[in-house]
Structure 1
Amino acid sequence: MEHMYPKIMLVDDDAEDRQIIKDTFDDLDYGAVIHFEENGEEAIKYLQQCTPPGAIPSLIILDLNMPKMNGTQTLRFLKAEPAFAAIPVIIFSTSLNPIERDECLTLGAHSYVIKPISYTQTVEVVRHFYNLCNQLSQVE
Protein backbone atom coordinates (compact mmCIF):
# COMPACT_ATOMS: atom_id res chain seq x y z
CA MET A 1 0.00 0.00 0.00
CA GLU A 2 1.29 3.44 -0.93
CA HIS A 3 2.10 5.76 1.98
CA MET A 4 -0.26 8.71 2.08
CA TYR A 5 1.34 11.93 3.23
CA PRO A 6 -0.89 14.19 5.27
CA LYS A 7 -2.54 17.04 3.41
CA ILE A 8 -2.58 20.22 5.46
CA MET A 9 -3.90 23.65 4.60
CA LEU A 10 -2.38 26.63 6.41
CA VAL A 11 -4.45 29.80 6.11
CA ASP A 12 -2.43 32.79 7.29
CA ASP A 13 -1.84 36.23 5.81
CA ASP A 14 1.66 36.46 7.31
CA ALA A 15 4.17 35.21 4.72
CA GLU A 16 6.86 34.80 7.37
CA ASP A 17 4.63 32.57 9.52
CA ARG A 18 3.79 30.44 6.48
CA GLN A 19 7.47 30.07 5.61
CA ILE A 20 8.44 29.16 9.18
CA ILE A 21 5.84 26.38 9.31
CA LYS A 22 6.87 25.08 5.88
CA ASP A 23 10.56 25.13 6.81
CA THR A 24 9.87 23.32 10.09
CA PHE A 25 7.89 20.59 8.33
CA ASP A 26 10.79 20.28 5.87
CA ASP A 27 13.37 20.20 8.69
CA LEU A 28 11.48 17.36 10.36
CA ASP A 29 11.24 15.53 7.02
CA TYR A 30 7.57 14.67 7.52
CA GLY A 31 6.72 14.77 3.83
CA ALA A 32 3.43 16.51 4.51
CA VAL A 33 1.72 18.16 1.57
CA ILE A 34 1.06 21.71 2.70
CA HIS A 35 -1.18 24.09 0.81
CA PHE A 36 -1.13 27.78 1.72
CA GLU A 37 -3.80 30.44 1.41
CA GLU A 38 -3.61 34.03 2.63
CA ASN A 39 -7.17 34.48 3.91
CA GLY A 40 -10.41 32.66 4.53
CA GLU A 41 -11.99 33.75 1.26
CA GLU A 42 -9.15 32.18 -0.77
CA ALA A 43 -9.19 29.04 1.40
CA ILE A 44 -12.89 28.49 0.77
CA LYS A 45 -12.47 29.01 -2.99
CA TYR A 46 -9.68 26.42 -2.98
CA LEU A 47 -11.71 23.90 -0.98
CA GLN A 48 -14.74 24.31 -3.23
CA GLN A 49 -12.57 23.47 -6.24
CA CYS A 50 -10.93 20.37 -4.70
CA THR A 51 -11.54 17.35 -6.89
CA PRO A 52 -11.51 14.51 -6.26
CA PRO A 53 -12.70 14.75 -2.66
CA GLY A 54 -9.42 13.06 -1.64
CA ALA A 55 -7.69 16.32 -2.49
CA ILE A 56 -9.39 18.02 0.46
CA PRO A 57 -6.91 18.54 3.30
CA SER A 58 -7.09 16.32 6.35
CA LEU A 59 -6.33 19.31 8.60
CA ILE A 60 -6.81 23.06 8.35
CA ILE A 61 -4.61 25.39 10.38
CA LEU A 62 -6.31 28.76 10.54
CA ASP A 63 -5.05 32.16 11.67
CA LEU A 64 -7.62 34.50 13.22
CA ASN A 65 -6.54 37.96 12.13
CA MET A 66 -6.65 38.09 8.34
CA PRO A 67 -8.04 40.48 5.73
CA LYS A 68 -11.16 39.80 3.62
CA MET A 69 -12.46 36.92 5.75
CA ASN A 70 -11.01 36.39 9.21
CA GLY A 71 -10.48 33.10 10.97
CA THR A 72 -13.69 33.16 12.99
CA GLN A 73 -15.79 33.86 9.89
CA THR A 74 -13.96 31.12 7.99
CA LEU A 75 -14.41 28.61 10.81
CA ARG A 76 -18.13 29.42 11.03
CA PHE A 77 -18.50 28.83 7.27
CA LEU A 78 -16.50 25.58 7.28
CA LYS A 79 -18.44 24.05 10.15
CA ALA A 80 -21.79 24.97 8.55
CA GLU A 81 -20.85 23.45 5.17
CA PRO A 82 -21.48 19.67 5.09
CA ALA A 83 -18.60 19.02 2.66
CA PHE A 84 -16.08 20.61 5.05
CA ALA A 85 -17.62 20.30 8.53
CA ALA A 86 -15.69 17.12 9.39
CA ILE A 87 -12.26 18.60 8.60
CA PRO A 88 -10.50 19.36 11.89
CA VAL A 89 -9.57 23.03 12.18
CA ILE A 90 -6.83 24.22 14.50
CA ILE A 91 -6.85 27.91 15.29
CA PHE A 92 -3.26 29.17 15.13
CA SER A 93 -3.08 32.67 16.52
CA THR A 94 -1.12 35.18 18.56
CA SER A 95 -4.30 36.08 20.45
CA LEU A 96 -4.32 35.17 24.13
CA ASN A 97 -7.91 36.41 24.50
CA PRO A 98 -9.90 33.69 26.33
CA ILE A 99 -13.18 34.97 24.88
CA GLU A 100 -11.85 34.53 21.33
CA ARG A 101 -10.50 31.09 22.23
CA ASP A 102 -13.81 29.97 23.74
CA GLU A 103 -15.76 31.30 20.75
CA CYS A 104 -13.58 29.32 18.34
CA LEU A 105 -13.92 26.12 20.35
CA THR A 106 -17.69 26.62 20.57
CA LEU A 107 -17.83 27.09 16.79
CA GLY A 108 -16.14 23.71 16.34
CA ALA A 109 -12.40 24.30 16.30
CA HIS A 110 -10.50 21.13 17.22
CA SER A 111 -8.03 23.15 19.28
CA TYR A 112 -6.56 26.59 19.76
CA VAL A 113 -2.78 26.91 19.51
CA ILE A 114 -0.84 30.07 20.33
CA LYS A 115 1.80 30.85 17.70
CA PRO A 116 5.23 29.91 19.04
CA ILE A 117 7.98 32.43 19.65
CA SER A 118 10.98 30.11 19.42
CA TYR A 119 12.19 27.44 17.02
CA THR A 120 11.92 24.78 19.74
CA GLN A 121 8.28 25.70 20.33
CA THR A 122 7.64 25.72 16.58
CA VAL A 123 9.01 22.18 16.30
CA GLU A 124 6.65 21.04 19.07
CA VAL A 125 3.67 22.72 17.40
CA VAL A 126 4.48 21.17 14.01
CA ARG A 127 4.85 17.74 15.66
CA HIS A 128 1.41 18.27 17.20
CA PHE A 129 -0.07 19.10 13.77
CA TYR A 130 1.59 16.08 12.16
CA ASN A 131 0.60 13.68 14.94
CA LEU A 132 -2.99 14.85 14.72
CA CYS A 133 -2.99 14.12 10.97
CA ASN A 134 -1.64 10.63 11.62
CA GLN A 135 -4.29 9.96 14.27
CA LEU A 136 -7.00 11.11 11.89
CA SER A 137 -5.74 8.93 9.04
CA GLN A 138 -5.92 5.86 11.30
CA VAL A 139 -9.56 6.63 12.13
CA GLU A 140 -10.63 6.98 8.47
Structure 2
Amino acid sequence: MSATSTVPSILLVEDNPMDLDLTLRAFNKKNFSNTIHVARDGEEALAWFARWEAGEPLPAVILLDLNMPRASGLEVLAQLKAHPRFRRIPVVILTSSREDKDLKSAYDLGVSSYIEKPVSFSKFIEVAERIELYWCVVNARPY
Protein backbone atom coordinates (compact mmCIF):
# COMPACT_ATOMS: atom_id res chain seq x y z
CA MET A 1 0.00 0.00 0.00
CA SER A 2 1.46 3.36 -0.93
CA ALA A 3 1.64 6.36 1.37
CA THR A 4 -0.96 8.13 -0.80
CA SER A 5 -3.49 5.30 -0.65
CA THR A 6 -6.79 6.14 1.00
CA VAL A 7 -7.64 2.53 1.84
CA PRO A 8 -6.12 1.69 5.23
CA SER A 9 -4.30 -1.56 5.80
CA ILE A 10 -4.84 -4.17 8.50
CA LEU A 11 -2.02 -5.91 10.37
CA LEU A 12 -2.95 -9.50 11.19
CA VAL A 13 -0.73 -11.11 13.82
CA GLU A 14 -1.37 -14.86 13.84
CA ASP A 15 0.99 -17.81 14.28
CA ASN A 16 -1.44 -20.67 13.63
CA PRO A 17 -1.42 -21.49 9.89
CA MET A 18 -5.00 -22.78 9.94
CA ASP A 19 -6.35 -19.71 11.76
CA LEU A 20 -4.31 -17.46 9.47
CA ASP A 21 -5.78 -19.14 6.39
CA LEU A 22 -9.30 -18.97 7.83
CA THR A 23 -8.97 -15.27 8.62
CA LEU A 24 -7.53 -14.39 5.21
CA ARG A 25 -10.23 -16.43 3.45
CA ALA A 26 -12.94 -14.65 5.47
CA PHE A 27 -11.59 -11.23 4.45
CA ASN A 28 -11.14 -12.32 0.82
CA LYS A 29 -14.67 -13.75 0.66
CA LYS A 30 -16.03 -10.27 1.39
CA ASN A 31 -13.77 -8.68 -1.27
CA PHE A 32 -12.39 -6.05 1.06
CA SER A 33 -10.03 -3.58 -0.55
CA ASN A 34 -7.83 -3.30 2.54
CA THR A 35 -4.32 -4.66 2.25
CA ILE A 36 -3.76 -7.31 4.91
CA HIS A 37 -0.21 -7.48 6.20
CA VAL A 38 0.68 -10.62 8.13
CA ALA A 39 3.05 -11.10 11.04
CA ARG A 40 3.40 -14.77 11.98
CA ASP A 41 4.53 -14.24 15.57
CA GLY A 42 5.06 -11.54 18.15
CA GLU A 43 8.58 -10.63 17.03
CA GLU A 44 7.40 -10.13 13.42
CA ALA A 45 4.67 -7.86 14.79
CA LEU A 46 7.23 -5.83 16.75
CA ALA A 47 9.38 -5.53 13.60
CA TRP A 48 6.57 -3.41 12.09
CA PHE A 49 7.52 -0.62 14.51
CA ALA A 50 10.69 0.06 12.48
CA ARG A 51 8.70 0.02 9.24
CA TRP A 52 6.22 2.55 10.61
CA GLU A 53 9.07 4.72 11.92
CA ALA A 54 10.53 4.63 8.38
CA GLY A 55 7.31 5.98 6.89
CA GLU A 56 5.14 2.94 6.16
CA PRO A 57 1.51 4.02 6.79
CA LEU A 58 0.02 2.95 10.10
CA PRO A 59 -2.70 0.31 9.85
CA ALA A 60 -6.33 1.09 10.60
CA VAL A 61 -6.37 -1.79 13.07
CA ILE A 62 -4.17 -4.60 14.35
CA LEU A 63 -5.77 -8.03 14.76
CA LEU A 64 -3.68 -9.72 17.41
CA ASP A 65 -3.61 -13.31 18.62
CA LEU A 66 -2.54 -13.86 22.22
CA ASN A 67 -0.72 -17.18 22.33
CA MET A 68 2.29 -16.89 20.04
CA PRO A 69 5.95 -17.88 20.12
CA ARG A 70 8.86 -15.47 20.60
CA ALA A 71 6.61 -12.68 21.99
CA SER A 72 3.06 -13.12 23.20
CA GLY A 73 0.18 -10.97 22.07
CA LEU A 74 0.11 -9.30 25.48
CA GLU A 75 3.82 -8.44 25.15
CA VAL A 76 3.19 -6.93 21.71
CA LEU A 77 0.19 -5.01 23.04
CA ALA A 78 2.18 -3.66 26.01
CA GLN A 79 5.02 -2.41 23.79
CA LEU A 80 2.62 -0.91 21.26
CA LYS A 81 0.63 0.96 23.90
CA ALA A 82 3.85 2.23 25.52
CA HIS A 83 4.95 3.84 22.24
CA PRO A 84 3.99 7.54 21.97
CA ARG A 85 3.05 7.34 18.29
CA PHE A 86 1.71 3.82 17.91
CA ARG A 87 -0.41 3.63 21.07
CA ARG A 88 -3.38 5.13 19.24
CA ILE A 89 -3.57 2.27 16.72
CA PRO A 90 -6.67 0.25 17.59
CA VAL A 91 -5.90 -3.32 18.57
CA VAL A 92 -8.47 -6.10 18.42
CA ILE A 93 -7.52 -9.29 20.22
CA LEU A 94 -8.73 -12.18 18.07
CA THR A 95 -8.07 -15.31 20.10
CA SER A 96 -9.31 -18.71 21.11
CA SER A 97 -8.52 -17.93 24.75
CA ARG A 98 -11.50 -17.87 27.07
CA GLU A 99 -9.33 -17.15 30.08
CA ASP A 100 -10.66 -14.34 32.26
CA LYS A 101 -7.08 -13.33 33.13
CA ASP A 102 -6.26 -12.84 29.42
CA LEU A 103 -9.35 -10.69 28.91
CA LYS A 104 -8.58 -8.52 31.95
CA SER A 105 -4.88 -8.24 31.08
CA ALA A 106 -5.68 -7.18 27.52
CA TYR A 107 -8.03 -4.42 28.68
CA ASP A 108 -5.59 -3.34 31.40
CA LEU A 109 -2.99 -2.87 28.63
CA GLY A 110 -5.35 -0.80 26.47
CA VAL A 111 -6.86 -3.20 23.93
CA SER A 112 -9.72 -1.74 21.89
CA SER A 113 -11.72 -4.95 21.62
CA TYR A 114 -11.48 -8.62 22.59
CA ILE A 115 -13.11 -11.20 20.32
CA GLU A 116 -13.11 -14.97 20.67
CA LYS A 117 -12.34 -16.63 17.35
CA PRO A 118 -15.53 -18.06 15.91
CA VAL A 119 -15.60 -21.79 15.30
CA SER A 120 -17.53 -21.82 12.02
CA PHE A 121 -16.39 -20.20 8.78
CA SER A 122 -19.73 -18.38 8.34
CA LYS A 123 -19.37 -16.78 11.79
CA PHE A 124 -15.75 -15.92 10.99
CA ILE A 125 -16.95 -14.10 7.86
CA GLU A 126 -19.45 -12.11 9.97
CA VAL A 127 -16.69 -11.11 12.40
CA ALA A 128 -14.34 -10.13 9.55
CA GLU A 129 -17.06 -8.00 7.97
CA ARG A 130 -17.81 -6.20 11.23
CA ILE A 131 -14.12 -5.61 11.94
CA GLU A 132 -13.50 -4.17 8.47
CA LEU A 133 -16.65 -2.05 8.48
CA TYR A 134 -16.12 -0.56 11.92
CA TRP A 135 -12.34 -0.20 12.18
CA CYS A 136 -11.57 0.62 8.53
CA VAL A 137 -14.64 2.60 7.45
CA VAL A 138 -16.66 3.99 10.38
CA ASN A 139 -14.00 4.62 13.01
CA ALA A 140 -12.14 7.95 12.81
CA ARG A 141 -8.37 7.51 13.16
CA PRO A 142 -6.36 10.11 15.11
CA TYR A 143 -3.24 9.66 12.97
Q: In the aligned structure 2, how far is the partner of 1:35 from the partner of 1:3?
A: 15
Q: Which runs of 4+ in 1 moved over 4 A?
A: 137-140
Q: In the aligned structure 2, how far is the partner of 1:25 from the partner of 1:64?
A: 20
Deviations 1:38-66 (A, max 9, x none): 1121111123223425x221100000000
**1:133 alignment partner AA:** C
- Residue in structure 2 matched with residue 43 of structure 1 by the alignment: 45
Tell me whether 1:57 sits opposite 2:36 in the alignment. no
**2:124 alignment partner AA:** T
- Percent identity of equivalent pairs: 31
User: Structure 1 residue 94: deviation in Å?
Assistant: 0.4
Unaligned runs of 5+ in 2: none
Deviations 1:90-121 (A, max 9, x none): 01110111121011011100010001100111
**2:139 alignment partner AA:** L
**1:29 alignment partner AA:** N
- Contact residue 11 and residue 38 of structure 2 kept, 8 A: yes
User: Structure 1 residue 71: deviation in Å?
Assistant: 0.4
SS at match of 2:87: coil
- TM-score, normalised to structure 2, is 0.88
**1:77 alignment partner AA:** Q
> Structure 1 residues 119 and 84, CA, compared in 2 at 3 Å: closer, same or farther?
same
Q: In the aligned structure 2, how far is the partner of 1:89 from the partner of 1:20?
A: 19
Q: In the aligned structure 1, how far is the partner of 2:11 from the partner of 2:29?
A: 18
Segment drifting more, 94-103 vs 62-71: 94-103
Tell me whether 1:118 sits opposite 2:120 in the alignment. yes
- Contact residue 47 and residue 56 of structure 1 kept, 8 A: no
**Count of aligned residue pairs for this structure pair:** 138
Q: In the aligned structure 2, how far is the partner of 1:8 from the partner of 1:68?
A: 21
- TM-score, normalised to structure 1, is 0.90
Q: In the aligned structure 1, how far is the partner of 2:42 from the partner of 2:83?
A: 14
- Residue in structure 2 matched with residue 18 of structure 1 by the alignment: 20
